[in-house]
Structure 1
Amino acid sequence: MILTTTLSVEGRTITRYHGIVFGEVISGVDVIKDFAAGLSNFFGGRSNTYEAELMNARTEALAELEQRASALGADAVVGIDVDYEVLGANNGMLMVTVSGTAVSLDEIAGP
């Protein structure tokens, strides 16, 4: 499965549009992660705790998008957009949403 932010796949022709597909993940940030991130904020530097949580959520959302596109019979998802939001009373939840268009591509021409 090809996943791309571009609207086409170089060297390939889109032969069918299957529709828009989404992947969503909402991840909670617990007290220990909050504390560790607070220390990074206080002393300066990057928050590896939040960065790891963000990377995991994005990876899971892309995997869900790919699974949904595959279920439609798509070969690729083009025009992928990734959005991040914080939710909850204390902004304790991270939401990652990815969306794109599931498509079928022409066959790769052989030699």
Structure 2
Amino acid sequence: MIVTTTPNIEGKEIVEYKGIVFGEVIAGVDFIKDFAAGLSNFFGGRSGSYEGELIKTRENAIKEMEQRAIQMGANAIVGVDIDYEMLGQANNMMMVTASGTAVVVR
């Protein structure tokens, strides 16, 4: 499946629009990651624990979006947008939403 942020795919023709498709994943951030991120914040540098969780969550949201597009009969997704949000009373939940337009290309 071709997944792109562009509105079209070079060398391909969009022959059918199936509709908007989403993939949403909410992941909890645990105490150990919070503690490690706090140390990175205090001493400076990047937080590998948060970055790893973010990458995994984003990849899962894209996979979920792809699966929904396949169920709609699409073979590509164009115009993909990824949004990030922190949720929960203590901002300890990370939500990643992937959205795009499911299409059939040839």
Q: Do the structures match in fold with TM over 0.5?
A: yes
**What's the CA shift for 1:91?**
0.4
Larger Rg, first or second structure (1 or 2)? 1
Q: Which residue of 1 aligns with 2:76?
A: 76
Cα deviation code 1:39-89 (max 9, x no counterpart)? 100110000000000000000000000000011110100000000000000
Task: Give SS of 2:58's match.
Answer: helix
Identity of aligned residues (%): 64
2: CA distance, partners of 1:26 / 1:65: 14
1: CA distance, partners of 2:57 / 2:12: 30
Structure 2 unpaired stretches of 5+: none
TM-score (norm 1): 0.94
Runs of 4+ in 1 over 4 A off after TM superposition: none
TM-score (norm 2): 0.99
1: CA distance, partners of 2:6 / 2:67: 19
Structure 1 unpaired stretches of 5+: 107-111
2: CA distance, partners of 1:19 / 1:34: 38
Q: CA RMSD in A?
A: 0.4
